[in-house]
Structure 1
Amino acid sequence: MTPVEPGLARRGVRYLARRRRVVAALLAWSVVEAGHTFALGYALAEALDEGFLAGRPRTGLAWLGLAAVAVVAGAYGTGRTYGGVAGLVEPFRDGLVRTVVSRALHRGGGSDTAAVSRLTHQVEIARDAFAGLVMVSRSFVFTAAGALTGLFLLAPPLLAVVAPPLVLGLGLFLATLRPLARRQEAYLAADETLAAGLGDVFAGLRDVTAAGAEPRVRAETGALTDATLHASRSLARWSVVRVVALALAGQLPVVLLLAGAPWLLDHGVTAGGLVGALAYLTQSLMPALQNLVHGLGTSGSRLAVVVRRLTAPGLPDGPPGEPAATATAAPQDAPAPALALRRLTFAYGDRADPVVRDLDLTLPRGAHLAVVGPSGVGKSTLAGLVAGLLRPGGGEVTVGGARAGTAAAAARRVLIPQEAYVFSGTVADNLGYLRDDPVPEEELRAAAEALGMAELVRRVGGFAAPLAPAELSAGERQQIALARAYLSPAPLAVLDEATSHLDPVAEARAERAFASRPGGTLVVIAHRAASARRATRILVMDGADTVCGEHHELLARSPLYRDLMGAADPAHRGPEPRNPAHRDGSSCRDSPSYPPRPLRDTDRVDPVPRPGLPGDRGHVVAHRPVGQVQAAGDLPDGRPLRRE
């Protein structure tokens, strides 16, 4: 029906091949179920010809009794087939749920409102459609086989009358599947767009009312509703073609059989054979054909469309049917940068001062950036913007040329937060979670060695050993999350204080491993000064002024950076360019960040401990990340604390 569906068909064959025993049992019980189809028409014909019409009522009753036994056996076979259908359908549904949830999490579920429609509505459509498709196609194949075999055994002319319209009607029906699938996809796309639009409206009802935007929102929502209605009506019109196909394949054979009865009787067809043929048509073929047309026409097209949408490599962020937003493509001889911030502005609320304002930054592939600054200045906010978890108020963020909120950008980046998540499963399951296929053990072992967690893997029992997340320390969970990101195919890695629970040696090893990934780009939200020294470029998010550059440049230009590094004032403070271009080809433009914060406030609080603070009872010293107070005698002059 679409260019993608041959791939879906191959995947479906592989899916069934992995469940050969379930399929074999389902086919076996289907044969039992279809036995009564053959027995019904044949026994009825024999009961008339050899029994009642021949004056032998006992023989007729015996054939009818045989038909009744076949019906009971068929009913038992029907009951047994449901177990086989469940054995195929439920794993299929579970796989779709895992796919949808995984992609929503990788993209940042908060920005993917259409994921709700996929998970709740479309997965259930696929499940019901698959179950219906299995039932109706299996039933029609075995019922048609039994009925056509019975017609041939009764009298070959019967088959000559019934087969042509049956084939013609089926051909017409199959010809409608492709346009039917397109209308079905248009309907699902409109439904998904409507769900996303209503989600935005419901989330902002207070803002809509406060801004007096009801007419505009009403018009936009009405347009989405009208589009869904139009798609639904277009889909409904194609049901008329299904009715025509059903009439050709199911009703026309009965008319031809009745109209041609004199000719059939003159050519060796008995009265019992004619009645048996009518029984085959009305009691077996027509119900099976109706189920096939309605089931395959609705369930089959829905299944193909929904599965293709749920499992496609890139699902659009915006309304379906519109292209996903991407940055302007770079020339072929100049590949898009790994990360680009253009006039980026963000604030928590319409009336709040921006945390980031007009920030420009370009990272080429293979760059290593450290983001430093005091707590609360916006470092994690910047990580959320790069990861697509937050939407900028102005400007744009592109990852490999694709805007941060798109599926293409999600496939090119991975975010490792400070609070690492480890789920119950094997070590290999946790490490390979971001990969579509199982990760070879050699690659797992190489990643563990690179990140210094080989001892942890040995202690828990190897890569096939189950993990108990509650038994792992915070540092061990961070190591597993780092290895998971290291093994992901995403070239851009963003570490948002993801090594805060590691010792300095383990932290340095992890950062070097990420920085050395082939073609990989690393952004580190740093909590230690050593992380900045290892980076090729540093972004200092200062409350008063955001600057970026290399280590030696920032020592000369940024008082905050000097304090963060614990360095004395440099010997020279020559002017530095405001838009430096760096050795790795990256560039950044300094821009103000609000609200402004002075380096030292009115209470003379030094932001970080550094050498040279006098013990004059006039300083409050920030000591260690958790803000522990200095013990008595710790000041340089050795005097006890009084009013410090």
Structure 2
Amino acid sequence: MGRHRDHPSALLPLLPLLRAQLRGSRTPLLRILGWAAVEAVPPLLSGLLLATAADHGFLVGRPLAGCGWLTLLGLALLLRGWAARAAFPHVAAVVEPLRDALVRQVVEAALSRPVADPAEVARLTEQVESVRQLTATLLRTLRGVGVSLVGALLGLALLAPAVLPLVLLPLAAGGLLFARLLRPLVRRRRALVLAEERVAAEAAQALAGVRDIAACAAGPRVAAAVGEAVLAQGEAARALGRATALRSLAVALGGRLPVLLVVAAAPWLVTHHWLTAGEVLGVLAYLTQQLEPAVRTLSGAAGGWLPQLAVTVDRLAATATGPEPRHPAEPAASAEQAGGAEQAGTLRAQGLCYAHGPAAAPVLTGLDLTLGPGEHLAVVGASGAGKSTLASLLAGLITPDHGTVTLSGVPLHTLAAADRAARVALVPQQAYLFAGTVRENLDWLNPGVDPTPAIELLGAAPLVARLGGLDAELADPDALSAGERQLLTLVRSYLSPAPVVLLDEAGCHLDPAAEARVEAAFAARPGSLVVIAHRIASALRADRVLLLDGGTALTALHGDLQVLSPLYRELVGHWLDSGVSGHRPPGGDTPSATPNTPADTPDATSAALPTVLQS
């Protein structure tokens, strides 16, 4: 998607993708060519029959003979119509399987990404439909154009070879000019497609957050952003229009100039017996009825539809590629190289500031955080303190107003979505499963990996067995409970290649014992773990605790944080009153990760917690 081609070879990206799908359509393609040969007969005969009708019929006083030759021409045109109709089913036999194969390819590739965007899938399938329509139109149009050009040139060669220089030289000049114009056409068509995608993205974001925009008084800023995208789209459309208008020069050279040259030379050619009057009529018929319309149509197809097809297929080729599968223990391959001196796997936030709008109070102000490889951090705070916002910032899904978030020295928000998701996995509260087998849902982020060890480790084996095993179909994922969906989603995220995992209340629908087992498994997994806690037990299991309070943040060991923060003492006090405080002594020692310890099974704990912590 970031590639840029501004030369005629920009048409080449469509060739591998289309060739792979058209390889199985050789039989219908050969039949299309066969019917095209039949269609070429009437254009080939048209000028010859007109010249014969004139020279051996009407001009020598034999009108019946002339009408007979014209009748033959009419029958030939009927043959062309019949051949064109017979070729249509074979065009469909090429185009429809192409559309089906492309739909499967782009949807499977989009869903194989760590973060699947339904809007992206919709856009890709819309582009596939454009490819289908453009391919069908080009097959029909170029077949007819090729038939007309070949028939006209062969007919001219048979009827009046003397005029070929008057036709071929302007035709070649027009072709060269058009080839030069193809470069800006492809470049500006691509710019228009990108501008249209930007408008769609800006408008979709604005519509999705219209209430928040109104609440934060962000209307003018959002309107300016959408307006800027619309203006850029308009300028791209005008630039494409200017480049398209220049095609008329190529049409004038290749299609109309030969007619003028032949008309100008006709008296001399007839006087010197190079041509007869009937042959002049036949030549003009070839030029005006076959050659000029074919050149005009070819200019429109190659200058309009072909660049559009090239750009659309190029966009599909750039986005229809899934991530390379990697084992969860492997870190992102290029992270250390891209990050320079930063230690590989270090997640760092510096001077992080964020507000939901220009008139809104900051959610985070000057937050600094460093999470080393293998470290386990819990984030706690009152409802609305910015825990989920921090998770989105750390995942690179939203851009901070000020400050940076880097992983191994690489700013996350600058990475492409697939690259970013391969480094940081954000598991939200709302679990997502799709219709398919249990195995397909679990190895979605890392195709081909064996999910069995992770299923056992996270305690999902009874659920998978109840569903019928790994190859059982999940026809309706919504039939599962929220906790069951969360557990399967957590297994899938555990198998992700990302070295950093963010659990944003991802176990809120699990019982405390199951959530403890899940967190212990993720903590032992190679890489780093951030848990947005909705139970204080999650904070007790972490190496460090990050407390969010009114836009500020305080990070310390559990025991130190009890001394430093009255708010944290108040939150923990409710937990201590539940009678299970003996599991972790003051001072911040790391608790046992064994799931069956008392601290991991405080069924009454969450009920005793303050509402602000559970939300």
Distance 2:456 2:286 in 1: 70
Structure 1 residue aligned with 2:555, among 535, 548, 560? 548
Which residue in 2 is equivalent to 1:73?
82
Confirm or deny: 8 A CA contact 1:355 1:377 kept in the other structure. Answer: yes
Which residue in 2 is equivalent to 1:41?
44
* Higher alpha-carbon deviation: 537-546 or 36-45: 537-546
Distance 2:545 2:536 in 1: 11
Q: How does 1:197-216 map to 2 (within 5 A)?
A: none
Which residue in 1 is equivalent to 2:323?
none
SS at structure 2 position matched to 1:18? helix
Confirm or deny: 8 A CA contact 1:556 1:573 kept in the other structure. Answer: no
SS at structure 2 position matched to 1:293? helix
The Cα offsets for residues 26-78 of structure 1, whole Å up to 9 and x where unpaired, read as 55235425633332331551465389716645862563253133133134136
More RCO (CA 8 Å, sep 6+): 2
Distance 1:572 1:210 in 2: 42
SS at structure 1 position matched to 2:115? helix
Which residue in 1 is equivalent to 2:484?
476
Structure 1 residue aligned with 2:238, among 233, 236, 250? 233
Distance 1:217 1:528 in 2: 37
The Cα offsets for residues 298-355 of structure 1, whole Å up to 9 and x where unpaired, read as 22323333454566469xxxxxxxxxxxxxx986222576533333345667777655
Q: How does 1:65-464 map to 2 (within 5 A)?
A: 65-77=74-86, 79-80=88-89, 83-84=92-93, 86-87=95-96, 90-91=99-100, 94=103, 98=107, 106=115, 129-154=134-159, 161-192=166-197, 227-261=232-266, 263=269, 275-309=281-315, 312=318, 332-335=340-343, 338-346=346-354, 355-373=363-381, 377-387=385-395, 392=400, 395-398=403-406, 401-404=410-413, 407=416, 409-410=420-421, 412-434=423-445, 439-440=447-448, 442-444=449-451, 448=455, 451=458, 453=460, 460=467
The Cα offsets for residues 380-412 of structure 1, whole Å up to 9 and x where unpaired, read as 343244345666565454455325486354553
Residue 607 of structure 2 is aligned to residue 567 of structure 1? no
In structure 2, relative to structure 1, the CA distance for the partners of 1:116 and 1:80 (3 Å cut) is closer
Confirm or deny: 8 A CA contact 2:44 2:154 kept in the other structure. Answer: no
Amino acid aligned to 1:295? A
Distance 1:444 1:257 in 2: 76
Residue 606 of structure 2 is aligned to residue 625 of structure 1? yes
Query: 1:360: Cα distance to partner?
Result: 1.6
Gaps of 5+ in 2: 321-336, 591-597, 611-615
SS at structure 1 position matched to 2:72? helix
Distance 1:486 1:267 in 2: 88
In structure 2, relative to structure 1, the CA distance for the partners of 1:166 and 1:85 (3 Å cut) is farther
Distance 1:221 1:286 in 2: 44
In structure 2, relative to structure 1, the CA distance for the partners of 1:146 and 1:211 (3 Å cut) is same
Gaps of 5+ in 1: 315-328, 577-581, 583-608, 611-620, 630-644
In structure 2, relative to structure 1, the CA distance for the partners of 1:515 and 1:271 (3 Å cut) is farther
Distance 2:122 2:478 in 1: 33
Distance 1:569 1:424 in 2: 42
The Cα offsets for residues 164-210 of structure 1, whole Å up to 9 and x where unpaired, read as 33233222212211122223333444555566667788877998999
Amino acid aligned to 2:249? V
Query: 1:415: Cα distance to partner?
Result: 2.0
SS at structure 1 position matched to 2:430? coil
Confirm or deny: 8 A CA contact 1:368 1:536 kept in the other structure. Answer: yes
Distance 1:463 1:4 in 2: 49
Which residue in 1 is equivalent to 2:331?
none
Distance 1:43 1:14 in 2: 39
Distance 1:428 1:267 in 2: 82
In structure 2, relative to structure 1, the CA distance for the partners of 1:473 and 1:120 (3 Å cut) is closer
Which residue in 2 is equivalent to 1:495?
503
Confirm or deny: 8 A CA contact 1:431 1:481 kept in the other structure. Answer: yes
SS at structure 1 position matched to 2:581? coil
Distance 1:571 1:432 in 2: 40
Residue 550 of structure 2 is aligned to residue 539 of structure 1? no
In structure 2, relative to structure 1, the CA distance for the partners of 1:249 and 1:205 (3 Å cut) is farther
Distance 2:587 2:524 in 1: 33
Confirm or deny: 8 A CA contact 1:166 1:249 kept in the other structure. Answer: yes
SS at structure 2 position matched to 1:303? helix
TM-score (norm 2): 0.71
In structure 2, relative to structure 1, the CA distance for the partners of 1:60 and 1:428 (3 Å cut) is farther
In structure 2, relative to structure 1, the CA distance for the partners of 1:502 and 1:183 (3 Å cut) is same
Distance 1:381 1:88 in 2: 44
TM-score (norm 1): 0.68
In structure 2, relative to structure 1, the CA distance for the partners of 1:159 and 1:482 (3 Å cut) is farther
In structure 2, relative to structure 1, the CA distance for the partners of 1:449 and 1:243 (3 Å cut) is farther
Distance 1:10 1:444 in 2: 36
Confirm or deny: 8 A CA contact 2:36 2:83 kept in the other structure. Answer: yes
Q: Larger % of helix: which? A: 2
Confirm or deny: 8 A CA contact 1:180 1:238 kept in the other structure. Answer: yes
Distance 2:454 2:270 in 1: 78
Confirm or deny: 8 A CA contact 2:270 2:277 kept in the other structure. Answer: no
Structure 2 residue aligned with 1:524, among 531, 541, 556? 531
Which residue in 2 is equivalent to 1:617?
none
Distance 1:5 1:462 in 2: 53
Amino acid aligned to 1:25? P
In structure 2, relative to structure 1, the CA distance for the partners of 1:77 and 1:353 (3 Å cut) is same
Query: 1:241: Cα distance to partner?
Result: 2.5
- Count of matched residue pairs: 563
Amino acid aligned to 1:236? G
Amino acid aligned to 2:379? V
The Cα offsets for residues 548-593 of structure 1, whole Å up to 9 and x where unpaired, read as 234565566553457657436998779x9xxxxx9xxxxxxxxxxx
Distance 2:278 2:247 in 1: 33
Distance 2:509 2:206 in 1: 41
Amino acid aligned to 1:165? P
Distance 1:446 1:210 in 2: 47
* Higher alpha-carbon deviation: 376-385 or 417-426: 376-385
SS at structure 2 position matched to 1:32? helix
SS at structure 2 position matched to 1:176? helix
Which residue in 2 is equivalent to 1:602?
none
SS at structure 1 position matched to 2:606? coil
Confirm or deny: 8 A CA contact 1:422 1:481 kept in the other structure. Answer: yes
In structure 2, relative to structure 1, the CA distance for the partners of 1:545 and 1:62 (3 Å cut) is closer
SS at structure 1 position matched to 2:431? coil
Which residue in 2 is equivalent to 1:606?
none
The Cα offsets for residues 91-129 of structure 1, whole Å up to 9 and x where unpaired, read as 4774698489869993878xx9xx799679977766655
Distance 1:180 1:265 in 2: 45
Which residue in 1 is equivalent to 2:333?
none
Query: 1:16: Cα distance to partner?
Result: 3.9
Distance 2:466 2:108 in 1: 31
* Higher alpha-carbon deviation: 546-555 or 345-354: 345-354
